[in-house]
Amino acid sequence: MVELFQSLLLESRTNTDLKRRGTIYPNLASFLLCIQLTFRVNNQHKSTHLNMKKLTVLLATLAAPAILVGGEMPVIEDPVCAVPFYGSVSAGYETTYLFRGTDFGSDAPWTGVDLNYDFSDTLSLNFGTWYINPTQDPANFDELDVYAFLNFPLWIFDAGIGATWFYFAEADTEALEGALSLGYSVGDIFDLGALVVYDETTAGWYYELSASKGIPLTDCLELGLGAGIGYGDDYYGVSSFNHAFATAGLSWSMTEAATFDIYVGGNFPLEDLSDAGEDDDVHGGASVTVSF
């Protein structure tokens, strides 16, 4: 029997078809050699059970290459977990929290989560939450916002319509407003924005016009400029021009997902809001945003 295996082994070594480059075949030579070694061990009075286990392992190992065709390994792809949402997580600090011209306190840390879902190429949902807590002047003010907007093209504009719920935990009060926003890009010159808000709590209206411009300074650094003016109609005691504002900021793309922003701005109350005691204010802030 041993002589027969040796004859077959010699024949397999001369068979050049078994060594074609780029193609994997069952390795007959190795197979026969391992069987021969197994019989030799058996002749040395090793356990028959042990030898059968060795032979089984060898057969399984040598048979595996036979499933390969044309020298190419089978491709096993990891399952793709498609996440329907994308968005960002942000945290920042404001020297003064100003909302539509009104000073709600200073030394104000904040954080927010903003999410988006695309229904189609022209319709998307934007929703999220935002929290701020000024620690000075007054020290007992905090605000939680929960919002949702549908975004879509409207004629030449980028439009959004939705609502925001405001909750002031320390004062245990709330407010609700609906809003329509319109955006229009004037070529590569600047962007225009318009906002119309109806506040259900005060049954008043607020209107705002704004313009902004982003100026790339490097591949990772951009200068942002903005200005605007607001108008109130029975909006928390204001029925006139509300305030004017201007901002300048730098946005640094630290990585593909992380951005660091700093800004400085000016707030200028007008007419009824100024008469109510609001003063001009220069303020600033910084934030970090991580997108996913």
Domain extent listing, the chain: 2-67, 85-291
What digits encode the pLDDT tens for the residues 202-257? 999 999 999 999 999 999 999 999 999 999 999 999 999 999 999 999 999 999 99
Structure-derived torsion over alpha carbons of residues 21, 24, 29, 33, reported in degrees to the nearest 10 = 130
CATH number of 85-291: 2.40.160.160
* pLDDT score for 72: 55
Choose the weakest-confidence range: 38-47, 252-261, 274-283. Answer: 38-47
